[in-house]
Structure 1
Amino acid sequence: MRPPAVLTRPRSVLTTLVLAAGLLVAAPAPSGADTSAPVTPVPVSSYQSKIVNDGTTVYYPSNPTGELPVALLLQGGKVHRQYYSQYAAAVASYGFVVVTPTHRRLNFFDTNYYTSTSQVGETLGWMATENAAASSPLNGHIDTDTMVLLGHSFGGATGLSITEDKCSIPFCTTLGFNLPDAVKAGSFYGTNNAILGIYPAIDNQVPVQLVQGQSDGMAEPAQAESSYAKLQHGPKQIVRVSGANHYGITDVQSPAGAEAEVNSQSLSQAASIEVTARWAALWLRAQLGDAAAASYVLGTGDAADPLVTVTSGN
């Protein structure tokens, strides 16, 4: 039996005012934000829930209308969900319910925060339960047939494995995995599929975007380029973010407990979070049929945003 969702009173936050480590943290709006983007971010609220045994923070537009797609954020290795509060809120401000489970499990000989392909099915179960719960702020507002994926580092690699519709070690912790029809697309930051210098073909069954900080010293830009070339199916895209490093989407650099980045970041955290969240959110909206978002991520956005260079393929 699935445990009931654990709810607390929603907190209203602006796009850049979110819950982090139990405190409300205000981040200044980055001056470099691209005002030509076709979707205006809206205020966001958050509350605490639980997906099976994983503590989860849920971010959603404060005044939801209609049914919203769910974005499952797969955390980086050893990174607690609290460090994605600003990024998750920024993506949610573009019209998504963003869930950030803290998934703790054994990965070979290390028990820590590591994602798993099993989280897809668990999140789909949560979506149905939450949408039907009269006490939920999202009662009747979740599109239970639509999930997209966000991922960082190890979580992004898990996301790539999910898109291939197969059970791959070390990401699959069950006897098998089948990609649900509800999963429509993925956007992964600081991610590659290198295995001892080898880049296997990626038989992705849904559209994939890679977002890569050009100052990343842990998952290097050349590795992302090699992985992008191995994506077998389109639509696909790689977004190169100038001045961002491996922790360009987390609230702080080198979050406590995680591996330390070796390269500094020339962008402010606010700027790197804004640009990465905007490109991820609009790519995902485009794959769900938003024509204006598609026009931006596949056309006008590259020239309008001085922080990125973009390559797309079909």
Structure 2
Amino acid sequence: MRRLGVAGVAAVAVLAVAPPAQAATPGWVSSHETHIGADPATVHLPPGRGPLPVALLLQGGNVPKESYTRFAKTVAGFGFAVAVPDHRRAVGPVTGLFPESLQLQATVDWATAENTRAGSPFAGRLDPGRLVLLGHSFGGAAGLFSLGNACTPPFCFGPVYQRPAALRAAAFYGASTGAPIANAGVPVALVQGDADGVNLPATARATYDALAAPPKAYVTVHGANHFGLTDTQTPPGARPDPTPQTLSQDDSIDTAAKWSALFLRASLGDQLAAAYIYGFGDAADPLVTVVHERG
């Protein structure tokens, strides 16, 4: 970690009181039920802001959308419309909640329609031209593979897939791949608990190293395990992490949400968020260690 000068120390002190793009208290964020394509979805909106970038959260395998409420509301408080669908499909002989690459374009299409539909709670609130991705575990892997223009099973089957032009950035938790990812043009953050016994930190770090292009960041959350961003440990449908979490659930959720949201904001041009992610944020937050390449 590099040393901070006087200006950096002052900035850290200010941030400790008022972080950039400070999240609204999750209770201030409104939640609306909708459908994105055929998928039931909850969309979380902060008060009095728009048009908002649309953040699609790709769930962990068989983890229901309700398990991400605190995380999604906290990210929304940083200035995003956070959409969390339940995407049910068959993967081989198993049918369950399994995200896929084709959800990206479906979300852009939904946002385009709802932003202009009379009577929609989202009318005038969405920016369909700015899509960002969030993801957990299987959903994070699906998001990583979606950054290229290849349809990669089991995250995509059937029709030819093309990455939407609206995609601007991505931040994934507890995610990795066994292959290099062609992310050129899309900044990527990997947020990883150092107590994750499902997606091992070494595997996540290898995925970060194999990302083709900066900007990219690798954020270690100390004391968090694989379910550090879900409302409870071992949400319904999930297999337990054999490694217990030592960080409180609220602290791990809020830390993962803050770093994910600020990385996305930095990637959309927020200079103060960029100063935090690529500058003094590591020193300001004792719960994380950050590696990055800004490019």
In the superposition, the TM-score normalised over structure 1's length comes to 0.86
Is 1:208–1:237's contact at 8 Å kept on the other side of the alignment?
Answer: yes
In the TM superposition, 1:113-132 aligns within 5 A as 113-132=97-116
CA contact (8 A) 1:67 1:140 kept: yes
Separation in 1 of the partners of 2:232 and 2:23?
22
Say which structure is richer in helix: 2
Q: Partner residue of 2:133?
A: 149
1:31-46 to structure 2, matched below 5 A, reads 35-42=17-24, 43-46=28-31
Structure 2 portions without partners, runs of 5+: 1-14
Corresponding position: 1:289 with 2:266? no
Once residues 170 and 34 of structure 1 are traced to their aligned partners in structure 2, the CA distance between those partners, rounded to angstroms, is 42
Q: CA deviation at 1:141?
A: 1.5
What is the distance in 2 between the residues matched to 1:77 and 1:226?
Answer: 22
Instruction: Report Cα offsets for 1:47-103 as digits up to 9, x if no partner.
Output: 100111111001011222x31000000000010001001100000000000000000
Question: Which residue in 1 is equivalent to 2:183?
Answer: 204
The alignment of Structure 1 onto Structure 2 pairs a total of residues equal to: 276
Q: What amino acid maps onto 1:243 in structure 2?
A: G
Write the distance in 2 (CA, Å) between the matches of 1:291 and 1:257. Answer: 39
What corresponds to 1:242 in structure 2?
A: 222
| Counterparts in 2 of 1:34 and 1:49: CA distance versus 1, 3 Å | farther
Alignment of 1:1-314 (within 5 A): 35-42=17-24, 43-64=28-49, 66-194=50-178, 200-205=179-184, 206-313=186-293, 314=295
Q: Match for 1:310: what amino acid?
A: V
* RMSD over equivalenced CA pairs, Å: 1.2
Cα distance in structure 1, aligned partners of 2:79 and 2:118: 21
Aligned residue in 1 for 2:12: none
Q: TM-score normalised to the size of structure 2?
A: 0.91
Deviates more, 1:165-174 or 1:236-245: 165-174
How far has the Cα of 1:281 moved from its partner? 0.3
Q: Which amino acid in structure 2 is aligned with residue 56 of structure 1?
A: A
Distance in 2 (CA, whole Å) between partners of 1:161 and 1:187 is: 13
Contact kept, 8 Å, 1:37 with 1:301, in 2: the verdict is: no
The runs of at least 4 consecutive aligned structure 1 residues that moved more than 3 Å come to 33-36
Displacement after TM superposition at 1:246 (Å): 0.2
What amino acid sits opposite 2:204 in the alignment?
A: A
> What amino acid is aligned across from residue 41 of structure 1 in structure 2?
A
Percent identity reads 46
Superposition deviation, residue 36 in structure 1:
5.0
* Corresponding residue number in structure 2 for 1:4: none
Unpaired segments ≥5 residues, structure 1 = 1-32, 195-199
Residues 195-215 of structure 1 deviation map (CA, whole Å, 9 limit, x = unaligned): xxxxx2221131110000000
Q: Structure 1 residue 293: deviation in Å? A: 0.3
Specify the SS of the correspondent of 2:278.
helix
Tell me, in whole angstroms, the C-alpha distance in 2 between the residues paired with 1:62 and 1:48. Answer: 17
Measured in 1, the distance between the counterparts of 2:272 and 2:134 equals 21
CA-CA distance at 1:40 after TM superposition: 1.8
Q: What is the DSSP-based 3-state SS (H/G/I as helix, E as strand, rest coil) of the residue aligned with 1:132?
A: coil
Structure 1's 34 and 91: CA in aligned 2 closer, same or farther, altered over 3 A?
farther
Letter in 2 for 1:296: Y
Deviations 1:122-160 (A, max 9, x none): 111110111012212221121111100000000000000
